[in-house]
Amino acid sequence: QVQLVQSGSELEKPGASVKVSCRASGYTFTGPSINWVRQAPGQGLEWMGFINTKSGKPTYAQDLIGRFVFSLDTSVSTAYLQISSLEAEDTAVYYCAKDRAYFAFDIWGQGTLVTVSS
Amino acid sequence: QSALTQPPSASGSPGQSVTISCTGTNSDVGGYKYVSWFQQQPGKAPKLMIYEVSKRPSGVPDRFSGSTSGNTASLTVSGLQADDEGTYYCSSYGGTNKGAFGGGTKLTVL
């Protein structure tokens, strides 16, 4: 079946980096974009941006600071989110989601909890 | 502050109908027919319930319906069931490379 499977929870110290993976299966990976959404504890959903799976071009939400990088490895149908210089405020669940078109995220990963704490 | 405005809570008794609003601008909700609605239950990933204003993905009951009027989109859940509880988020396409979610509405079935 069509699914996105994300990597497991991460516990990192402030200033460190983390890389979250999102492996797709059950459909042609190089087609629909992969979006990234974060959810801080007890808060709502925040769209972070997306990566075009055909060209590999990332697009970031306007208010996202330049510590976030989206990338792909099409050979293993996997998208990645890397966050550098982690801050406590980055503590959140990060989701990847497949976009069927125009913000209709029809398949979601199970989420990856990133905790930043000293 | 979210780009789209939703009421923080809504409620209804089993069998009743409830409508959740989502207000944007003519640069998103009012400008495009690309509003989606997601249901999120505690500890789970969001689930797509409505896309392109009023279309339902396969497997979503027809008790869920969507519409728009001007800059406001609405999600109506009819025949409320206990399993409908959760937080509902709207989203809208906002032009090239732009998008946003609403702040979420917690639906309680009384």
- pLDDT band at B3; cut points 50, 70, 90: confident
Phi and psi angles of residue A96, each rounded to the nearest 5 degrees, phi first:
-105, 150
In this prediction, residue B23 carries a pLDDT of 96
In this prediction, residue A94 carries a pLDDT of 98
- pLDDT band at B98; cut points 50, 70, 90: confident
Given a contact cutoff of 8 angstroms between Cβ atoms, the answer to whether B16 and B35 are in contact is no
Answer yes or no: do A102 and B101 touch at CB < 8 A: no
Given a contact cutoff of 8 angstroms between Cβ atoms, the answer to whether A115 and A14 are in contact is no
Q: Are strands A78-83 and A68-73 parallel, antiparallel or unpaired?
A: antiparallel
Q: Has residue B96 got a pLDDT over 90?
A: no
To the nearest whole Å, the CA of A50 is away from the closest chain B CA by 8
In this prediction, residue A66 carries a pLDDT of 87
Q: Has residue B97 got a pLDDT over 90?
A: no
Answer yes or no: do A47 and B99 touch at CB < 8 A: yes
- Distance between CA A75 and CA A56 in Å, rounded? 13
Interchain CB contact of B46 with A (< 8 Å): yes
- pLDDT band at B94; cut points 50, 70, 90: confident
Q: Tens digit of pLDDT for each residue in B6-63?
A: 999 999 999 999 999 999 998 899 998 999 999 999 999 999 999 999 999 999 999 9
Answer yes or no: do A103 and B46 touch at CB < 8 A: no
Given phi > 0 = left and psi -120 to 50 = alpha, else beta, which region is B47?
beta
Tell me which chain A residues have a C-beta less than 8 angstroms from the C-beta of B91. 45, 47, 103, 105
Given a contact cutoff of 8 angstroms between Cβ atoms, the answer to whether A48 and A55 are in contact is no
- Distance between CA B15 and CA B73 in Å, rounded? 23
Low-confidence ranges of chain A (pLDDT < 50): none
Q: Has residue B1 got a pLDDT over 60?
A: no
Q: Which residues of A touch B (CB under 8 A)?
A: 37, 44-47, 59, 62, 95, 97, 100-106, 108-111
Q: Which of A44, A101, A102 sits opposite B101 (nearest CB)?
A: A44
